[in-house]
Structure 1
Amino acid sequence: MSVHESWRMDRFQELDQQLQALCAADSRLPDGQPELLVFVSAFYPMFDAWRDWDRVGAKLKKWRSESPDSAAQAIVEVMYWDSYAWYGRGGGYASSVPEAAWELFRERLAKASARLEESKAMAGNCPVWHSLNISTLINSGASRTKINSAYAEAVKAFPASQQVHFAMGRSMEVKWGANPGDFERFARQAVKLSQREEGDGLYARLFWSRDCNCDDALSFGRPGDPDWKTMKAGFEDLLQRYPDQIYNKNKFAAFACRANDRATYAKLRRELGDNIVEHLWPDSWKPEVCDREMAKSPAVAPAREKKFQGTRQT
């Protein structure tokens, strides 16, 4: 039974068993991401789409009363409060958010923090607890010292956890108070920590997690931008480990285009053929745009650090 079905039918014991199995195993999805993502991704989109906060809150209370020591209940409740906090804040820039919305945001994040703290003994043996803890600290505006301490504890237990590194990576972005270049240095360090299990692939995955279909889509050649040689090696490692994964190859090609690596792009594009995953390519650098751009001679090609024009927020 799927996670969605177990939740819909109030089969809480099955949810406990599903999370326990996913936390204990190092099983992977076809593209190499941890299968543990299946549990997390079952709830966040559902909460954001349904926005039935009272009904979900009542269901979580019922689950907790029936299974007070449930790690799965604690994890889902933390995700609930996190989603509810962002719902209260809204999606605008910080300067446009009313004080009342900030109050809702802080109050609900405080409930997520409290649930994390009281569930650490029963859920702290799962990497998803640590990734949620780091994310909640960042969202709550915790000190850099506190965030770093949480990350150090997490990687000591789970040095190769992609989700732990992804969560910490947010704190290394300029918009969260970091300096240009901090994220790139962090990515290199994360590769060292996860080398045995992940090889060089985490460098590519971390920058992939930062990419977007927006004006801040990744570029190459500016201070703080990814090093293409290192990213290319990371994607090559991913394709060696997961050779039939179209998602990884699409993203590799999309980055090769922006990095102005004609030879790599041409090879990947031939291999992809019609197997294009559109949402992995920014609007201003769709496959047909890259096909035309990469066919130009280097002398007339635009500078690779060119700022994207006309993209839309998604």
Structure 2
Amino acid sequence: MRFISRHLSTALIVPVILSAVSCNKKAIEGKRAEAAANEVAAANQLTFRNDARQLYNNRDFAGLEALAKKIRENKSRFVDGQWAIEDFYSSQDCRKDEPESMWQLHDQIHRDWLKKYPDSITARVAHANFLITYAWHARSDRRGSQVTQVGWDLFRERLAEARTVLDKSKELKPVCPMMYSSYQTIALGQGWPRAEYDALFKEAKSLE
């Protein structure tokens, strides 16, 4: 009886163990597949950013306009949920450690883009984004008391120009959602009163 009982116990336990091993194997395979998919997605996102940057570096403004139009109309996102239009604009950023001559070159690229496409919402938002970044570059990451007067003057001047660029873009079609993200950064830098900021938020929400 003991032999039979032991045999029955083994017969019952083995399938359970095999089932657990099978489930564990599937879980591992699932994680590997997910990791592989994430790697592909990250590579695709990097490729997108590099391609967009190449268009920008080459001053291929027609290519930039076409790409922005496509991803804006399709409301394209990457696997992690990031909007492609965000990466489109950020791919044009100038690095913090770039010399002043490089910042001036970027400024000229944006002005040339606007000159060729004066009614482009994409060119205007891109220019405003650059001016905002350029403003914070002038201010630096220092505490307010440590920022030079020249730094403060350039900060205010560039933020004001960025706001003017966006203010003149409100009637353009199609509306670019990133315009309001840029406005928020300007509001922070200029210290907008609460009522004005709330009005901006309400305006942005009305586009949803």
* TM-score (normalised: structure 1): 0.47
Write out per-residue CA displacement over residues 231-250 of structure 1, whole angstroms, 9 at most, x where no aligned residue.
Answer: xxxxxxxxxxxxxxxxxxxx
Give the counterpart letter for 1:119 in structure 2: S
Q: 1:41 to 1:62 in 2, by over 3 A?
A: closer
Quick check: which one's helix share is greater?
2
Is the 1:89–1:101 contact (alpha carbons within 8 Å) kept by the matching residues of 2?
yes
Write out per-residue CA displacement over residues 234-293 of structure 1, whole angstroms, 9 at most, x where no aligned residue.
Answer: xxxxxxxxxxxxxxxxxxxxxxxxxxxxxxxxxxxxxxxxxxxxxxxxxxxxxxxxxxxx
Give the counterpart letter for 2:147 in structure 1: V
Following the alignment from structure 1 to structure 2, what is the Cα–Cα distance between the partners of residues 62 and 26? 27
Counterpart of 2:153 (choices 103, 120, 127) is 103
Q: 1:74 to 1:47 in 2, by over 3 A?
A: farther
Q: 1:49 to 1:30 in 2, by over 3 A?
A: farther
Is the 1:6–1:15 contact (alpha carbons within 8 Å) kept by the matching residues of 2?
yes
Task: Give the corresponding residue for 2:60.
Answer: 11
Write out per-residue CA displacement over residues 204-252 of structure 1, whole angstroms, 9 at most, x where no aligned residue.
Answer: xxxxxxxxxxxxxxxxxxxxxxxxxxxxxxxxxxxxxxxxxxxxxxxxx
Give the counterpart letter for 1:48 in structure 2: K
Task: Give the corresponding residue for 1:48.
Answer: 96
SS of residue matched to 2:191:
coil
Gaps (5+ residues) in structure 1?
A: 159-314
TM superposition shift of 1:89 = 0.5
TM superposition shift of 1:49 = 4.8
Give the counterpart letter for 1:152 in structure 2: K
RMSD: 1.8
TM superposition shift of 1:106 = 0.3
Counterpart of 2:70 (choices 9, 15, 21) is 21
Q: 1:33 to 1:26 in 2, by over 3 A?
A: same
Task: Give the corresponding residue for 2:107.
Answer: 57
Q: 1:48 to 1:20 in 2, by over 3 A?
A: farther
* TM-score (normalised: structure 2): 0.69
Following the alignment from structure 1 to structure 2, what is the Cα–Cα distance between the partners of residues 145 and 119? 22
Following the alignment from structure 1 to structure 2, what is the Cα–Cα distance between the partners of residues 106 and 144? 19
Following the alignment from structure 1 to structure 2, what is the Cα–Cα distance between the partners of residues 81 and 41? 13
Matched, 1:87 2:132: no
TM superposition shift of 1:122 = 1.8
Following the alignment from structure 1 to structure 2, what is the Cα–Cα distance between the partners of residues 25 and 117? 26
Larger radius of gyration: 2
Give the aligned length.
Answer: 157
Is the 1:84–1:108 contact (alpha carbons within 8 Å) kept by the matching residues of 2?
yes
Q: 1:81-230 to 2 correspondence within 5 Å?
A: 81-122=131-172, 125-158=175-208
Identity of aligned residues (%): 25
TM superposition shift of 1:100 = 2.5
